[in-house]
Amino acid sequence: MNPREFSSFLLISLCCCFFSFYYRIFPLFIIFFFLFRFDLYPFYRDDEEFAHWFLPRDNVVNSFVIEGKNGKITDFLSYYYLNSSIINNPRYKTLCAVYSFYNVAGTVDMTTLMNNSLILAKINGADVFNCLDLMENNKVFEKLKFGPGDGMLQYYLYNWRTPQIECAKVGLVLL
């Protein structure tokens, strides 16, 4: 199986795309316009800051884009790694857990995009794929058989006064 092709769309590692100015800037615009729909979201000042957060690094972050037939980037998916040590197990030492980071479905639906993310994470060695109920992620939980977590995520933004924001309107993933 070619790890770059799923659902008849081409998924390209963002690492390969950073050799071209077009590919370096365009994912930033996709993310910016996507995040602008939410009440709370990060702002990436320039392509260097964007590259810091999204340029693939082994066991840190992976990002992929879908390029349309006309050469334009239409979709974006990413996940980050948060590995855990397994104690007192002679066979396994590390649990490779990845977390959904930012995903922008343009030409495919969110379920297809997230399914591609699950496949890519598995190909890249993930044992567990976690996803917070932020942004549009809750659209895929039932269909892709995500199990509910046992905790509740609360954001405390020090010295920021904000109204209470429902999960679907939060576009900020804290690391």
**What mean pLDDT, rounded, does the chain reach?**
78
CA distances from 54 to 80, 92, 158 (A): 9, 29, 25
Q: What is the pLDDT of residue 123?
A: 93
- Model confidence band, residue 38 (pLDDT cutoffs 50, 70, 90): confident
User: Per-residue pLDDT averaged across 55-68, rounded?
Assistant: 87
Q: What's the pLDDT tens digit per position in 41-54?
A: 888 787 788 888 88
- Model confidence band, residue 124 (pLDDT cutoffs 50, 70, 90): very high
- The model's pTM is 0.78
List the domains of the chain with CATH numbers: 5-169 (3.40.630.170)
- Model confidence band, residue 111 (pLDDT cutoffs 50, 70, 90): very high
Q: What is the pLDDT of residue 40?
A: 82
Q: Is the pLDDT of residue 79 over 90?
A: yes
Q: Which residues have C-beta within 8 Å of that of residue 163, sequence separation ≥ 6?
A: none
Cβ atoms within 10 Å of 76's Cβ, excluding its own: 24
User: Residue 120: in which H helix or E strand, if any?
Assistant: helix 110-123
Contact 56, 153 (CB under 8 A): no
Q: What is the pLDDT of residue 153?
A: 65
